[in-house]
Structure 1
Amino acid sequence: MSGLDSGGAARGKSRFDDIYVQPDPRAYFTRLAPLDYEIPHHAQPVFRRLAAERAAYGAGRAEGLVVLDLCCSYGINAALLNHDVTLAELYERYTSDTARRMSTQELAAWDREFYAERRRPDALRVYGLDIAAPAVRYAREAGLLDAGFTDDLERVPPGPELRAALPEVGLITLTGGGSYITERTFTALLDAARGPVWVSAFVLRTVSYEPVARRLAAYGLRTTVDTSRTYPQRRFTDEQERRYAIEAVRGLGGDPSGREEAGRFHSVLYDSRPGPAR
């Protein structure tokens, strides 16, 4: 997740821009730990399952699949997808006294060894896209991303490097970035894609995904969602943010009782695959 505003940021939601422009992820985990930011934990088994299904849909070989993680920040989703590690372990690791004493270069070297030892045999190639350049750079240095891009697709078309990489992508993932990117980003990505691209997006209930779903339909992707199942994202930072979320959910026809009213943002999972329009 990147909290940097790229044109689609929700007004009333707290901003975390400062933790995405640090040279490494220690501030990210330190700041988000008290808020119980947990959506990557919920996404971990979902993305693993969908990656296997997408690989079977295509050539039938998982090693040929490339995943593009939008708003990838420090490569957290890539870490959880490709390595035997949990989000709780990452919180413990990056807020530890050991990590606190390291320089960024030492931390990156420590991470490269850590992730190499825990890399899964079914690991996939993962590309990351985020306008927070320091976060993407670190994810590359730690060995979490096979390629990283910082193109702001809300404002400009893909650059030559990203455009050259997009035909390889078979699955696009998103956790937490739905408040900051719009259908413009998905249009830019799918215009340059080749072959069927699936999209799996965890989107806050405070945000309408309908404009994105309509745009994906223009590329032959049918979007499904189970609105009865929600995934807690994080605690609210304050009462003002809680009131904003409750009002936003109600404004979209949702019921915040037991979810946002209880003190947390909640997301729903949108799954887009090739298929007939609804």
Structure 2
Amino acid sequence: MSGSGSGAGGKARFEDIYDQPDPRAYFRRLAPLEYEIPQQAQGAFRRAAAQRGGGTVLDLCCSYGINAALLNHDVTLAELYARYTDPAVGGLTSAELAVQDKEFYAARRRSDTAPVIGLDVAGHALRYAREVGLLDDSFAENLEEGAPPSPRLRAAMSDVGLITLTGGGSYLTRRTFAALLEWAGRPVRVSAFVLRTVSYRPIAECLAAYGLRTVADPSRTYPQRLFTDAGEQRFAVEAVRALGADPAGRESEGRFHTVLYESVPTDTAQEAGAGSLQAGPAL
């Protein structure tokens, strides 16, 4: 759930690579920009999945299932870049690549896997992720438009124990989270890597209404990718400053940075001593 070209005076968009029959264009386009946030999130998502208390993982804006690949398989993002930019796979059809990918991921499947479902508007990307075994189910729905979740998504939410996010913090609002949590059937955690150019406060307030406490450590940031040009960097630096944070050493050095926001049921947060973490200025 992203875009192509440049947003109005702001963040570049890459829509054309997010809904192809397979992820080769995605990796070819993002490789020069050193897009790395899925790898940055791998450890955090594995820890959150281990602490979720059962249930399914729902990855928002999941596209080709990259987060699911890193969560449930012994593979790194660098290995995926190498795989999908390799000239040896350039001549394959999407169907041929999918056959090879199914074997590739099956051979690297971890023993501590979690069931993962995905939500995105990109139907082709979702189909790929299901076909190669990265997603157990998927939902091509845009809850930002105000429509309620489909009956099938509502049913799936009854078993979701963890919601993850790396690529949609600039596009999703409280509307999506409220629509999902309204149908939660068990305690849900949320683990979200969000660019410092946007405020997470409205979503955190929405999560609080559903009994979740959000914490973050603003002193620790996670690089997302290089800027596409000087204009995008100016946008990021100005946006970060407008939210009361300092771009020095981060956005001013040429990369988007994110903050990890962890939201857990209030009782769990108190038991874990999560209150020791400081809320970031964008929270």
Match of 2:130 in 1: 140
CA distance in 2, matches of 1:195, 1:140: 25
The CA RMSD measured in Å over matched residues stands at 1.5
Residue number in structure 2 paired with 1:192: 183
Q: 1:142, CA displacement in angstroms? A: 1.1
Rate the CA distance shift 1:130–1:251 in 2: closer, same or farther, 3 A.
same
Matched, 1:249 2:240: yes
Counterpart CA distance in 2 for 1:49 and 1:133 is 29
2: CA distance, partners of 1:10 / 1:169: 35
Q: Please say if 1:118 is aligned against 2:117.
A: no
**2:272 paired residue number:** none
Correspondence for 1:163: 154
Q: Distance in 1 between matches of 2:184 and 2:137?
A: 16
CA distance in structure 1 between the partners assigned to 2:258 and 2:84 by the alignment? 25
SS of 1:68's equivalent in the other structure is strand
- Contact kept, 8 Å, 1:4 with 1:132, in 2: the verdict is no
Alpha-carbon distance in structure 1 between the residues aligned to 2:89 and 2:236? 34
Partner of 2:13, secondary structure, is coil
Residue type matched to 2:133 in 1? Answer: G
Aligned length: 266
Alignment-mate amino acid for residue 74 of structure 1:
Y
Residue 180 of structure 1: SS of its match in structure 2?
coil
2:14 to 13, 16, 36: 16
Match of 2:255 among 253, 257, 264: 264
Q: 3-state DSSP class of the match of 1:229? A: coil
1:154 partner SS: helix
What's the offset of the Cα at 1:163?
Answer: 1.0
TM-aligned CA distance change 1:94 to 1:247, over 3 Å: same
CA distance in structure 1 between the partners assigned to 2:201 and 2:86 by the alignment: 41
Could you tell me which of 9, 25, 32 is aligned with 2:30? 32
3-state SS of 1:119 partner: coil
Instruction: State the match for 1:60 in structure 2.
Output: none
**Pair 1:108-2:98 in alignment:** yes
Give, in angstroms, the shift of residue 11 of structure 1: 5.6
Change in Cα spacing, 1:20 to 1:133, as seen in structure 2 (3 Å) is: same
Amino acid across the alignment from 1:41: Q
In the alignment, is residue 149 of structure 1 matched against residue 147 of structure 2?
no
State the one-letter code of the partner of 1:183: R
CA deviation map 1:104-137 (0-9, x unaligned) = 0001000000000100011110000001111111
Q: Deviations over 1:52-98 (max 9, x none)?
A: 1113xxxxxxxx43100000000000000000000000000000012
2:208 aligned residue: 217
Instruction: Provide runs of 4+ in structure 1 moved above 3 Å.
Output: none
Q: Percent identity?
A: 67
Q: Does structure 2 conserve the Cα–Cα contact (< 8 Å) formed by 1:4 and 1:180?
A: no
Pick one of 77, 92, 96 that aligns with 2:86: 96
- Give 1:21 deviation, angstroms: 1.9
Amino acid aligned to 1:256: P
The one-letter code matched in structure 2 to 1:272 is S
**In 2, Cα distance between equivalents of 1:4 and 1:168:** 31
Shift of 1:274: 0.7
CA-CA distance at 1:176 after TM superposition: 2.0
**Structure 2 residues not aligned, in runs of 5+:** 270-274, 276-283
Q: Structure 1: which 5+ residue stretches go unaligned?
A: 56-63
Shift of 1:217: 0.2
